[in-house]
Amino acid sequence: MIERYTREEIGRVWSELNKFKKWLEVELSVCNAWAKLGRIPSEALMSIKNSVYVNEEVLQKIKEYEKVYKHDMLAFISAISEQIPSYSHYFHMGLTSSDVVDTALALQVREALSIIIRDVEDVLEELKKLSFEHKDTIMMGRTHGVHAEPITLGVKFAVWYDEMKRNKDRLLGAYNSVSYGKLSGAVGTYSNIDPEVEKLALEELGLKPEPASTQVVHRDRHADLMYAIACTATSLEKFATEIRHLQRTEVLELQEPFTEGQRGSSAMPHKKNPIHAERICGLARVVRSYLLVALENMVLWHERDISHSSAERIIIPDATIALDYMLNLFLEILRGLVVNKDRMLKNMDLSYGLYASSKVLVKLMEKGMARDRAYDLVQKCAMKSWEEKTHFKDILLSHQEVSRWLTPQEIEEITDPRSYLKNVDYIYQKVFGSC
């Protein structure tokens, strides 16, 4: 991922330096396991553990070897073997490249997911705070982009909160799904390694052994990961799109923060554009595209090929880095969100109280009017209200047939926008466990 969208902490996870450190961590866990089984003498193990390391200098040496070998694992092994000339024959003993690469990848992914899950928790906390703060901030609910019935801004935030909880569950599921390694050799048959080595080494690393590996850990696990990431990114796009709609000049109910000294347009000094929300939407498209690649990576020839390898080097770091950036950018939007309550009320008046049509329909049916007749009657009153730009309540009060079925007090009650929000506490109870 380009530097512009890479936050420092998660960027370190996917650095070349950290990758090779993880490779070394896997190799050392294997050495420890061999030592427990008596295949590596204790003095040799101590010398290996005290001598091997990866730093920037070693990283450069690995790159120099790779230019010659055209093989990063062999380059890594050669660079580390130079640090332990007397015991290099114990290093990478019985392993194939993917044993180290796939197992280390699981460690990197878990490290990245830990950051992302923490990000999600921060977003959840802010959404919950906003939801309770705006529990009674009434606004127009819209379907098809058209006025429907009143809701509250708090309920909107509660909807987002509940969706992000599901995303957290997906990410936790992906964490478990990728927490598998394999140290089973060239085609997964343990031909040159004791199965006990895999068990002991992975236990030390906090991973589980792939039950039936080939030369690789199976890529449906990584597809699970990419789905959880893509789904979370798409939820953020959904929320950002709503903010963008509500920031349109004609609506202007919400605005993303616009800081001191910020400029919105090179040509038009008056502009305040929802650039952060738009950036989230754009990055979500990139992240979603990686899901298709992850699914295609599941299909390998026989016990493996490396058609997945080059793609994974891009999509897994990029997707996790992008999602970390998107979550923190969305958090920044939430923390500085401008809520225009007066505009929300003014916008409700644009449709002359027609949001009450559903309650009028139900009330007439409760009084005994046939549904089709009630629908036609309410629709005619609604159209008259719209065409004459007269409040719906006034049309109802002056309509002779409606007046025969509904009293002025009933009409007053069912056209009160607050009457639509009587069960908001019930929603909060379901989402948050309290209201």
CA-CA distance, 35 to 295, in Å (whole number)? Answer: 39
- For Cα atoms 312, 317, 320, give the angle at the middle one, nearest 5 degrees: 120
- For Cα atoms 203, 208, 213, give the angle at the middle one, nearest 5 degrees: 125
State the burial class of residue 162 (Cβ atoms within 10 Å of its Cβ: 0-12, 13-18, 19+): middle
| 265 in active site | yes
CA-CA distance, 222 to 314, in Å (whole number)? Answer: 13
Nearest to 323 by CA among 226, 427, 424, 213: 226
User: Taking the C-alpha atoms of 27, 28, 29 and 32 in order, what is their torsion angle to the nearest 10 degrees?
Assistant: 130
State the burial class of residue 197 (Cβ atoms within 10 Å of its Cβ: 0-12, 13-18, 19+): buried
Task: Give first-to-last CA distance, the chain, whole Å.
Answer: 42
Nearest to 367 by CA among 315, 414, 332, 435: 414
Q: How many other CB atoms are found less than 10 A from the CB of residue 78?
A: 18
The catalytically annotated residue of 15, 86, 191, 265 is 265
Q: How many other CB atoms are found less than 10 A from the CB of residue 166?
A: 12
| Residue 361 CA: distances (Å) to CA of 15, 307, 373, 416 | 63, 61, 10, 15
The catalytically annotated residue of 42, 144, 270, 302 is 144
* Phi, psi at 407, each rounded to 5°: -80, 160
331: helix, strand or coil: helix
Question: In which residue are the tokens 């031909």 written?
Answer: 191
137: helix, strand or coil: coil
Find out whether 304 and 216 touch, Cβ atoms under 8 Å.
Answer: yes
Helices (H) and strands (E) in the chain, counts: 18, 6
Report the largest interatomic distance among the alpha carbons of the chain, rounded to a whole angstrom: 103
CA-CA distance, 294 to 307, in Å (whole number)? Answer: 11
Look at strands 254-255 and 338-339 and give their pairing: antiparallel
Residues serving a catalytic function are: 144, 265
